[in-house]
Structure 1
Amino acid sequence: MSSYDDYSAAAELGQEPGGAPVRVGTVVWGLTVLALAALIIISGLGIVALNGTYVLIGLMIGAGAALIVGGVLSARRRDNNSTSGKS
């Protein structure tokens, strides 16, 4: 399948070509893993002493809040793009 076929298939569906949308969960968990890795490196260098329990609780609260906010924003965007006329 060529890029022209991808473009024409996307045009028939009323979508922009270029791939799938970014998923909120993937971004949030990726940022969570990066933050945890950075905290481990900082703690290993001895710059600051971290309590592992508090770090994990903080990361999980932040990730959970980001997932909820991202899901709500995604749902609102989907509702705005619907063509059914329902509000």
Structure 2
Amino acid sequence: MKRFTEEEIQSWRVGFIPGLVVIGLVILCRLTGVLQSLELIALDSFLRWRPEESIDKRILIVGINEQDIQRIGTYPIPDRDLASLLKKLA
């Protein structure tokens, strides 16, 4: 078994112990929610800075209301009826 020299042990202490402290602080901050408000502010800023998205002409929203369901007579609407609707829209 290899014996570590005092110099090797000291080099591990220099990097290992501060690393553990930083990891522990980050975990503690995440668990207590200390950083959540800052994260939400940053997310809100990033969403505001985004360029405006253009409207895609290929998207169509079809609303089905209570009258439509009564006219068809069953709920949920049968797949056959939905398929024929898609064919008409395509």
- Same fold at TM > 0.5: no
Bigger Cα Rg: 2
What is the TM-score normalised by the length of structure 2? 0.29
The structure richer in helix per residue is: 1
What is the TM-score normalised by the length of structure 1? 0.30
Q: Bigger relative contact order, structure 1 or 2, given CA contacts below 8 A and separation 6+?
A: 1
